[in-house]
Amino acid sequence: DIVMTQSPDSLAVSLGERATITCKSSQSLLYRYNNKHYLTWYQQKPGQPPRSLIYWASTRESGVPDRFSGSGSGTDFTLTISSLQAEDVAFYYCQQSLSAPYNFGQGTKLEIK
Amino acid sequence: QVQLQESGPGLVNPSETLSLTCDVSGGSISSGSYYYSWVRQPAGKELEWIGRIYSSGTTNYNPSLKGRATFSVDTSKNQFSLKLYSVTAADTAVYYCARGVKAEHLDNWGQGTLVTVSS
Nearest-CA distance B58 → chain A (Å)? 13
* Helices and strands (H, E) in chain A, number of each type: 0, 12
Cβ–Cβ of A103/B49 closer than 8 Å? yes
CB contact under 8 A, A55 and B46: no
Per-residue pLDDT tens over the stretch A56-98? 999 999 999 999 999 999 999 999 999 999 999 999 999 999 9
pLDDT tens digits, residue range B17-62?
A: 999 999 999 999 988 789 999 999 999 999 999 999 998 889 999 9
A38 touches chain B (CB under 8 A): yes
Local confidence band at A15 (pLDDT 50, 70, 90 cut-offs): very high
A40–B96 CB contact, under 8 Å: no
On whether the CB atoms of residues A11 and A108 are closer than 8 A, the answer is: yes
The DSSP element (H or E) to which A9 belongs, if any, is none
Q: Pick the residue of A39, A52, A61 with the most B CBs within 10 A to test the interface with B by mutation.
A: A52
The pLDDT value given to residue B29: 92
Kindly report the backbone phi and psi dihedral angles of residue A12, in degrees, each rounded to the nearest multiple of 5, phi listed first: -120, 125
Q: What angle do CA A30, A34, A35 make, to 5 degrees?
A: 40
Whole-number pLDDT of residue B31? 80
User: How far, CA to CA in Å, does B89 sit from each of A32, B6, B25, B29, B67?
Assistant: 41, 20, 32, 32, 17
Q: What is the pLDDT of residue B88?
A: 98
Positive or negative, the CA dihedral A72, A77, A79, A80 is negative
